[in-house]
């Protein structure tokens, strides 16, 4: 049986209170992130927060999922283009889940913000 720590304090954030920092992937800045949680676990990382990017920053960048990622598009539009040419169009209200190892080319069309969970 698993027990829950009832003394733990929840993390709370909104876009209005988010503290943004550069999101760096393999030495390259790819937008900004505001972390709600980052935790190393024996069965893989847990991360959640807000991520944003402008068309200038993310006109065309590699997108690779390490761990399963689910996100909800809060604002903006983007397109993910897979190696076979298939496209995943992202717009406000879209919720999508990608499996570990998913790759595509990310193209930001308008200023874009998402809430994400990687587990």
Strand order in the sheet with 87-90: 61-64, 103-108, 78-81, 87-90
- Assess whether pLDDT exceeds 80 at residue 26: yes
Q: Which tokens belong to 14? A: 């909104």
Domain extent listing, the chain: 21-118
Confidence (pLDDT) at 45:
82
Fold exhibited by the domain 21-118: Jelly Rolls (2.60.120)
Q: What is the DSSP letter of 66?
A: S
Give the SS3 label for residue 105: strand
pTM: 0.86
Query: Is 8 or 117 the better-scoring residue by pLDDT?
Result: 117
Confidence (pLDDT) at 3:
46
pLDDT in tens, 36-71: 999 988 877 899 999 999 999 988 999 999 889 999
pLDDT in tens, 62-105: 999 988 999 999 999 999 999 999 999 999 999 999 999 999 99
Instruction: Give the confidence band of 7 by pLDDT, cuts at 50, 70, 90.
Output: low
Strand order in the sheet with 46-53: 21-25, 28-39, 46-53, 112-118, 69-75, 95-98
% of the chain at pLDDT higher than 70: 94
Integer CA distances (angstroms), 16 to 36, 50, 107, in order:
13, 11, 26
Confidence (pLDDT) at 78:
98
Contacts of 82 (CB under 8 A, 6+ apart): 88, 103, 104
């Amino acid at each position: 049986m698993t027990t829950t720590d009832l003394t733990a304090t929840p993390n709370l954030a909104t876009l209005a209170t988010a503290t943004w920092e550069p999101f760096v992937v393999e030495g390259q800045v790819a937008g900004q992130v505001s972390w709600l949680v980052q935790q190393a676990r024996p069965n893989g990382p847990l991360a959640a927060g807000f991520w944003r990017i402008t068309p200038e920053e993310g006109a065309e960048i590699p997108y690779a999922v390490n761990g399963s990622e689910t996100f909800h598009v809060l604002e903006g539009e983007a397109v993910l283009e897979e190696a076979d040419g298939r496209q995943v169009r992202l717009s406000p209200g879209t919720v999508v889940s990608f499996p570990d190892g998913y790759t595509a080319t990310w193209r930001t069309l308008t200023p874009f913000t998402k809430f994400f969970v990687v587990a």
